[in-house]
Amino acid sequence: MRFKLQVQEDEKDPRQWHDVNASDGSLLVFDDESVARSKLEELYPILVKMERFEQDTKRTRVLRIIEDDDD
């Protein structure tokens, strides 16, 4: 199972989620969910901390990548 990170950059538009990319532009992908969550907190410490204290604030997420067996 693999995981990717997403961030919502505009809190006024909840549909605007963006994948988090590495410095070379490739998609950041992780094999371990806890490693993905740690990286999310490293890259977006303020947003992650805000989510812990504010109930209605959700601007970061870790998503499971569904892989197609045909690939």
pLDDT in tens, 13-47: 777 899 999 999 999 999 999 999 999 999 999 88
- From residue 26, alpha-carbon distances to 4, 20, 22, 23 in Å are 11, 9, 5, 7
First to last CA, the chain: 14
In this prediction, residue 38 carries a pLDDT of 96
What residue segments make up the domains of the chain, in order of their start?
2-65
pTM: 0.80
